[in-house]
Amino acid sequence: MKSFGCQMNVYDAARMTDLLAGEGYGETASEEDADLVILNTCHIRERAAEKIYSELGKLAVLKRERAEAGRDFKIVVAGCVAQAEGELVLRRQKAVDVVVGPQSYQHLPRLLRRAAEGARLTDTDFAVEEKFRDLPKPTRAQIAARGVSAFVTVQEGCDKFCSFCVVPYTRGAEVSRDVAQVVTETKRLVDAGVREITLIGQNVNAYRGEDSLGDPWPLERLLEHLSDIDGLERLRYTTSHPVDMTQGLIDAHGALPKLMPFVHLPVQSGSDRVLKAMNRRHSAQDYLDIVARLRAARPDVALSSDFIVGFPGETDADFEETLALIRAVGFASTFSFKYSPRPGTPGAEREDHIADEIMRERLAILQGLVETQRQAFNTATVGRVVNILFEKRGRHDGQIAGKSPYMQPVHVFGPPELVGRVLPAKITAAGSNSLSGEIVQGQEQG
Ligand code: SAH
Ligand code: SF4
Ligand code: F3S
């Protein structure tokens, strides 16, 4: 199982692995040992999609070698490339046996049985509700093997249609899972040792899952309800859209101690003209207002964002406005990309595309600025005592590694028994990618 792209894919990959465990499959570390390879793909940028075809080329060679040795080898393409390109994947790469979309992978056992008989198949139905209903529940051992921090998908799909983005086409319309389903899944994870839950969705703050009476709950109500689960130490949610950042959700950051002070809130651009062309439906000022209200509710909240440089028509002045927004906010971490035209999206139809050279320049400038901010944020943590959820052994002997409330990786010296515990640590140094600290003796904190 090889997964690319976003957290939604990480979650789906785990569900597919669990599903196929019931069919007698176990995960291998490399394709060399595998009888079946699943590429769980991403279509968000051109390079992501092209990478899949080069991976498939290598797998096709492996498949030929296997066939010569008289051994079977099946190749499945799942995820968003599967959804976007469907049958085309089978035509472009003859070695592929099954193409299955992100809303229909619950059919994998049946598809693989037919593939074993020699069929080549595509299944890209949108069957989200059926998917969640039919997937097997992970066992305690499967949950434990994935560590103390887990994702729970609460919402799928997107109705926003930003003019650069393929997600509404690959993941379909917005669908929220019922409250009861989310609660049951979360409790199951916590019972098996999970201490941190990240609720995920392409537009997680548009969550409107129904309770048993059919009333739709906003995300903050779900978070408040999940907060009451004993043993659950931390809650997070991602990815949010600025227009769905309601005052209720903002207030939850002040009211719920388990809700971590870190919000990933993609803004894409700081220019109103570009935001409008992107169909983002908010202004730069709206974004700054949200940030101010978040900080009023929870003064230590850390912000993270996504940026696209070189959207068609973006001028130097527009780009300067993006830099100004970044300076005004001060981000703890960010992702930034050159605009990549995606087939079928309105952005791709435009005639005022920006030269790659200019995109590269702008990206370098933007990344220089956000890197300075990230380092400043990390350095500001040095000397503070922050709670760390320990997740695993560290790279060096005697070390354990975990995360601060602000998603910073932190290493300390300590016994592996502390994995799964939240303990205060004094941060002693900030390296380029992680912090070092020392556990502070005393009371365990939440
Ligand atoms: N649902 C999230 C983002 C999903 S995609 C949101 O609304 O923000 C993750 C990130 O990929 C986006 O935030 C955007 O910055 C980037 N992205 C999406 N489409 C892109 C494209 N065509 N070219 C470059 N970057 C893109
Ligand atoms: Fe894509 Fe926009 Fe939907 Fe995010 S909100 S998934 S960027 S269309
Ligand atoms: Fe990629 Fe699909 Fe996620 S396109 S970013 S894997 S929703």
Ligand lying closest to the C-alpha of residue 174: 2
98 in contact with ligand 2, CB cutoff 6 A: no
Range 290-313 average pLDDT: 98
Confidence of residue 262 (pLDDT cuts 50, 70, 90): very high
388 in contact with ligand 1, CB cutoff 6 A: no
SS3 call for 338: strand
* Centroid of ligand 3 to alpha carbon of 189 (angstroms): 24
CA distance 103 to 398: 43
pLDDT score for 390: 98
pTM attached to this predicted model: 0.95
* Centroid of ligand 3 to alpha carbon of 172 (angstroms): 12
- Taking only the tens place, the pLDDT of each residue in 91-106 is 999 999 999 999 999 9
Percentage of the chain exceeding pLDDT 70: 99
- Taking only the tens place, the pLDDT of each residue in 127-161 is 888 888 889 899 999 999 999 999 999 999 999 99
132 in contact with ligand 1, CB cutoff 6 A: no
CA distance 55 to 48: 11
**Does 446 score more than 50 pLDDT?**
no
* Centroid of ligand 1 to alpha carbon of 165 (angstroms): 6
CA distance 99 to 82: 6
Residues 198 and 152 sit within 8 Å (Cβ to Cβ)? yes
Give the ligand 2 atom nearest the CA of 202: 6
**Does 419 score more than 60 pLDDT?**
yes
16 in contact with ligand 2, CB cutoff 6 A: no
Phi, psi for 430 (deg, rounded to 5) = -115, 115
- Taking only the tens place, the pLDDT of each residue in 353-410 is 999 999 999 999 999 999 999 999 999 999 999 999 999 999 899 999 999 999 999 9
pLDDT score for 443: 52
Give the ligand 1 atom nearest the CA of 338: 24
Burial of 51 from C-beta contacts in 10 A (0-12 / 13-18 / 19+): middle
pLDDT score for 442: 64
Ligand lying closest to the C-alpha of residue 201: 1
Look-up: residue for tokens 């990478």? 51
For residue 379, give the amino acid letter. T
- Return the beta strands (E) in 168-253 as ranges: 175-176, 196-200, 209-210, 216-217, 234-238
CA distance 403 to 411: 9
- Taking only the tens place, the pLDDT of each residue in 310-357 is 999 999 999 999 999 999 999 999 999 999 999 999 999 999 999 999
CATH numbers and ranges of domains, the chain: 2-129 (3.40.50.12160), 137-260 (3.30.750.210), 263-377 (3.30.750.200), 385-439 (2.40.50.140)
Alpha-carbon Rg for the chain in angstroms:
23
CA distance 365 to 11: 33
pLDDT score for 90: 97
404 in contact with ligand 2, CB cutoff 6 A: no
CA distance 146 to 155: 21
Residues 12 and 78 sit within 8 Å (Cβ to Cβ)? yes
